[in-house]
Amino acid sequence: MLYKVNEIFETIQGEGSFTGVPAIFVRLQGCPVGCAWCDTKHTWLVNPELEVKLDKVMAKAADTEQWTSLSAEQMLTLFESEGYQARHVVITGGEPCMYDLKPLCNTLHNAGYQTQIETSGTFEILVPPESWVTVSPKVNMKGGYKVLQSALDRADEIKHPVAMDKHIEQLLQLLNDTDTGNKLIYLQPISQQAKATALAIAYCKKYNWRLSVQVHKYLGIE
């Protein structure tokens, strides 16, 4: 199976439960959800005319809509050729769950990697049981997609973007029918706004949730 890949790079995970963990990011192309504050809008569209060879994707100096097709085996070969040392692979996007991720994740697991999926929760999550699933639920976005209960049920952590009280209300509504006993709940301020951060801290204390502050943006790294 081939996956449409916008970029692959090694960095430090800056969000959620794995904050601070060295990680290889695999960013897939394509997302119809339409979040207004999205910082990867260059991954939204899959333009066949912008498919390029792997070397052009790896040589990117800025965000572009160019993408390449890779199999799981080709990704493993790339990890080795690039000398990546991280064993944690974050599969993100775009919206990665537009793809069947089982073949990719199983190949990575068999090679000794662990996998984490970052998804909006608006598509069925096709991953093996060993994968860590981060659902960042996107409610009432331009694309009109609804957050699936099956995605919330599968999530290991729910990381909700917040800027206003209504975002907390949306999260509480989503959690009404979700067993959160074994899940970690994070609030993540949108765009590092001071007001949003203060709001998130207040609600984390109120509900005993956790704060995710996008450490990589404060550090100025990918």
Ligand-binding annotation for 204, yes or no, is no
Residue among 186, 177, 90 at smallest CA distance from 136? 186
- Residue matched to tokens 């590092």: 192
Q: Is 12 annotated as a binding residue?
A: yes
Q: Is 24 annotated as a binding residue?
A: no
| Residues 118, 136 contacting (CB under 8 angstroms) | yes
13 annotated to bind ligand: yes
35 is in an annotated binding site: yes
CA dihedral 150, 154, 156, 159 (to 10 degrees): -20
Closest CA to 217 of 4, 54, 14: 14
| 105 labelled binding-site residue | no
Q: Is 61 exposed, middle or buried (0-12, 13-18, 19+ CB in 10 A)?
A: exposed
Q: Which 3-state string (H, E, C) describes 108-143?
A: HHHCCCEEEEEECCCCCCCCCCCCEEEECCCCCCCC
Beta bridge partners of 89: 24, 115
> Annotated binding residue at 16?
no
Instruction: Say whether 43 counts as a known binding-site residue.
Output: no
- Known binding residue 17? Answer is no
Show binding-site residues for Mg(2+).
40
Show binding-site residues for substrate.
12-14, 27, 92
Show binding-site residues for S-adenosyl-L-methionine.
37-39, 94, 136-138
Show binding-site residues for [4Fe-4S] cluster.
31, 35, 38
Show binding-site residues.
12-14, 27, 31, 35, 37-40, 92, 94, 136-138
